[in-house]
């Protein structure tokens, strides 16, 4: 399968994201070699700040891949940003509407086409006071189980120090270090081929986010809390 080319709009996004990200923070990458350089890949990531997609896009691009994010469909209505998202073939998420399943279908198609799909299973930035992952939606388990390619956990840390949405704090100085740590692909062979019941999807979702949480604990050099923050989400 030929490697995907970024194209004009990915180039536009890179021209915006790289300088901004460089000014606001230093980038540190751990085990970037674990990102496959070709073929469909599902990257499962934690979500702590609205700046995450900028640094995550740069992280994927630095690993010689083109990222395709699952993102709120309302962003497609934002001037300029909407054009970039559409042109770069990002995937709109329509939660709570009749088009909700369209997002998963589009993500499946992207993976089948050999692309990199980035998903934040929590659905929004965590409200955990310590910045640890919150309970996640089970759509990530459906994607992972119905796709034969690698499912890779990635933890990112540092963007919360740069911009904390809930505390309304933007602290660009001194420059922060933004770290991405890539885990080993997750073995889901014990779950494939089984009926996708809600308990199974919840178990797989927690397994995936547990791997992300473990990576985050390594980055932070802290003991991760038991379980996940907040109510369960289907």
What's the CATH code, domain 26-220? Answer: 3.40.1130.10
The pLDDT of residue 76 is: 85
Residue 118 pairs in a beta bridge with 43, 69
Digit-coded pLDDT (tens) for 185-208: 999 999 999 999 999 999 999 999
* pTM of the predicted structure, to 2 decimals: 0.93
- Beta bridge partner(s), residue 170: 163
- Return the pLDDT at 2: 59
User: In degrees rounded to 5, what are phi and psi of residue 171?
Assistant: -125, 80
**pLDDT mean over 2-20:** 82
User: What's 96's DSSP letter?
Assistant: T
pLDDT digits (tens, 9 = 90+) for 134-190: 999 999 999 999 999 999 999 999 999 999 999 999 999 999 999 999 999 999 999
User: Which stretch of DSSP H or E encloses residue 69?
Assistant: strand 67-72
Q: Please give the full DSSP string across 103-168, using - where no structure is assigned.
A: HHHHHHHHHHTT-EEEE-TTSS----TT-PPBP--THHHHHHHT--S-EEEEEEESHHHHEETTTT
What's the CA gap between 197 and 157, in Å, rounded?
33
Q: Which of 150, 146, 148, 179 is nearest to 162 (CA)?
A: 179
- What are 155's strand-pairing partners? 181
């Amino acid at each position: 399968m030929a490697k995907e080319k970024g194209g004009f709009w990915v180039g536009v996004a890179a021209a915006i994201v790289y300088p901004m990200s460089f000014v606001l923070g230093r980038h540190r990458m751990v085990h970037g070699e674990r990102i496959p350089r070709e073929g469909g890949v599902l990257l499962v990531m934690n979500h702590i700040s609205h700046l995450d997609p900028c640094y995550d896009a740069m992280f994927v691009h630095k690993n010689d891949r083109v990222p395709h994010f699952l993102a709120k469909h309302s962003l497609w209505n934002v001037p300029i940003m909407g054009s970039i998202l559409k042109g770069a073939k990002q995937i709109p998420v329509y939660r709570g509407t009749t088009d909700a399943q369209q997002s998963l279908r589009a993500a499946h198609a992207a993976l089948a086409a050999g692309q990199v799909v980035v998903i934040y299973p929590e659905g929004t930035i965590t409200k955990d006071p310590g910045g640890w992952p919150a309970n996640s939606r089970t759509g990530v388990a459906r994607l992972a189980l119905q796709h034969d390619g690698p499912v890779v956990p990635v933890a990112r840390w540092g963007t919360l120090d740069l911009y904390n949405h809930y505390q309304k704090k933007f602290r660009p100085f001194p420059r922060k270090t933004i770290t991405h740590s890539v885990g080993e692909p997750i073995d889901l062979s014990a779950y494939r081929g089984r009926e996708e019941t809600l308990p199974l999807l919840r178990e797989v979702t927690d397994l995936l986010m547990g791997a992300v949480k473990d990576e985050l604990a390594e980055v932070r050099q802290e003991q991760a809390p038991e379980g996940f923050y907040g109510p369960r989400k289907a």
